[in-house]
Amino acid sequence: MDRKRASRRRFLALAGATGIAGMAGCMEQFNSMMGNKNKDNNNNNNNNNKSNSTDGSSIPGLVDGVPPLETELNSRKQYGQPGKSLDDFSNLENWTVVQGTGEADSDIVFDGEQSFKLQSNGSENITVEKSLQGEDLTDTDLSFAVRTTTPMQITINVRIVDQFGNQKVYSLRNISYRMPDVGWFRSSPGVFTQSSVEPSLDYLDRLEIRVLHSKPKAEVWIDDLRAHKTADTGYVMLSWDDGWTDYYETAAPLHDEYGFSSVQAVIPRRVEQAGGGYMSLSQVQERQEKGDQIVVHGTHKPIHELEDEATIAEHFKRDKEWFIQNELEGANYIVHPHNSFDKTSLKQAANYHYCGGFNQAGNVNTTSVYGFDPLVLPRTIGNDLEISKRCIDLAAQYNQCTILNFHRFDANNTMSADDYESLLKYINDTDIEVITFDDLWKLRASGR
């Protein structure tokens, strides 16, 4: 199969993106709009998730060339509630607590009057379940809003079981949200495993939410469980961080051979220095011309450690300005430095970026393409060839997206050069599409 990926300019031309229609400024706060008095409602949605076009011509952020400094809208608000509601948690009588504790919380909510607060009794895991009899989830993915005060070393599984005991498990493998400034985000995890017999999704028994952790305790809020259509194919994004010459000298020729674009998240000050193993500006621009997408990595320290909101806002502004000044066209997208983000930084990031992440894990950590939080995507560390191949297999099988992350070949978070060449060949031989942020954002904002 010919998998040559078009350059960003060609992709946008094919998508008809040169006629982008402007969309008015920031959306009003959900609390103000609805008169909601809840103490911690970070959703702020207008529930308008539909795009007027499927060809990209009305999707904000898809531009031919260098983007403007500020976003047209807050993508997390505009696209905060995809698909249709499956459970708003207004009636917890439908839920059974199997392990741990679960209760309604009317003070901390994503949407509506209450959320489902889950806690462990010490180090035990948490399991709650509800009946799905009468539901048909054929060709359907799920998403939910989640908030936790115990991030890191925590996994949230959604397990679908049919009336014969066959199961499918969707898994968010880790949460990188930083303490103490925690807030809500939407997760739409991909399939992690399935029983040997495929479950009958039109003859279901129950849905389970399981919180697995290796901490002294776990505390998680779940809200706004939603259903949306599964994509028509599977996708993979190959994401390289920091701008090392390892990519330019070794990986890039392989990408060119296969016609695969990558996503490059470069650090401005390293590019300016043009030494010490980092690509120069001319090399970065050359890779853009060959079809790679160059996105913001920016200030290379954990964003949540910056002093205050004004300082964080200035960093986002200054970082994107550098990309614009140097005609790097992927500046509408961001890879949070050190996978570090919190409630305040996400609020500011949305003023300058439409899509990014990540919640990063060492195991399979995929996503649906129509339900994820635009600025809190998941990805998998690309240090193990077999795990990376399993990511590819699952994304292809279940029409989901896997994002694989690399740095340099002598680092412990990146597979060897030989293994990487094997991975690209494996991708080329698999029925899966290699994409960039432009492609993924177009899918997410299409409103399917």
> Is pLDDT larger for residue 5 or for residue 307?
307
- Averaged over 119-141, what is the pLDDT? 95
Residue 53: per-residue pLDDT: 45
Confidence of residue 141 (pLDDT cuts 50, 70, 90): very high
Ramachandran quadrant class, 339 (left: phi over 0; alpha: psi -120 to 50; beta: rest): left
Confidence of residue 20 (pLDDT cuts 50, 70, 90): very low
Question: Is 60 a domain residue?
Answer: no
- First CA to last CA across the chain, in angstroms? 27
Whether the pLDDT of residue 54 is over 70: the answer is: no
Task: Give the domain extent around 138.
Answer: 84-229
Q: What is the pTM of this model?
A: 0.88
Question: Is 356 a domain residue?
Answer: yes
Residue 330: per-residue pLDDT: 97
- The residues with which 201 forms a beta bridge, in sequence order, are none
3-state secondary structure 92-112: HHHEEEEECEEEEECCCCCCC
Among 53-57, 70-74, 80-84, 225-229, the least confident range: 53-57
- Averaged over 385-393, what is the pLDDT? 98
> Is pLDDT larger for residue 217 or for residue 31?
217
Question: Is 337 a domain residue?
Answer: yes
Do 292 and 423 reside in the same domain of the chain? yes
Q: Does 180 sit behind a cis peptide bond, omega within 30 degrees of 0 on the bond before it?
A: yes
Return phi, psi of residue 396, to 5°. Answer: -70, -40
Instruction: With beta carbons less than 8 A apart as the criterion, state whether 199 and 166 touch.
Output: yes
Among 16-30, 220-234, 310-324, the least confident range: 16-30
Number of domains in the chain: 2
Question: Is 10 a domain residue?
Answer: no
| Contacts of 428 by beta carbon, 8 Å cutoff, 6+ apart | 1, 3, 258, 260
Do 225 and 243 reside in the same domain of the chain? no
Question: Is 101 a domain residue?
Answer: yes
**Please, what is the Cα angle at 233 between 230 and 236, to 5 degrees?**
105
Do 139 and 218 reside in the same domain of the chain? yes
Confidence of residue 40 (pLDDT cuts 50, 70, 90): low
Do 313 and 269 reside in the same domain of the chain? yes
Do 310 and 347 reside in the same domain of the chain? yes
Confidence of residue 22 (pLDDT cuts 50, 70, 90): very low
Question: Is 392 a domain residue?
Answer: yes
* pLDDT, tens digit (0-9, with 9 covering 90-100), for 290-327: 999 999 997 767 877 777 899 999 999 999 999 999 99
Burial class (CB in 10 A: 0-12, 13-18, 19+), 210: buried
Cβ count within 10 A of residue 26: 15
Do 277 and 221 reside in the same domain of the chain? no
**Average of per-residue pLDDT values in the chain:** 88
Do 191 and 247 reside in the same domain of the chain? no
Task: Tell me the CATH number at 343.
Answer: 3.20.20.370
Asked which of 229, 258, 288 is the last residue of a domain, the reply is 229
The alpha-carbon radius of gyration of the chain (Å, integer) is 21
- The residues with which 406 forms a beta bridge, in sequence order, are 240
Question: Is 329 a domain residue?
Answer: yes
Residue 273: per-residue pLDDT: 87
Asked which of 229, 258, 289 is the last residue of a domain, the reply is 229
Whether the pLDDT of residue 87 is over 70: the answer is: yes
* pLDDT, tens digit (0-9, with 9 covering 90-100), for 243-279: 999 999 999 999 999 999 999 999 999 999 878 899 9
Burial readout 59-89 (b: 16 or more C-beta within 10 A, e: otherwise): bbbbbbebbeeebbbbbbbbbbbbbeebbbb
Asked which of 229, 261, 294 is the last residue of a domain, the reply is 229
* pLDDT, tens digit (0-9, with 9 covering 90-100), for 273-288: 878 899 999 999 999 9
Question: Is 251 a domain residue?
Answer: yes
Do 331 and 274 reside in the same domain of the chain? yes
Do 89 and 203 reside in the same domain of the chain? yes
Whether the pLDDT of residue 17 is over 70: the answer is: no
Rounded CA-CA distance 71/137 in Å is 35
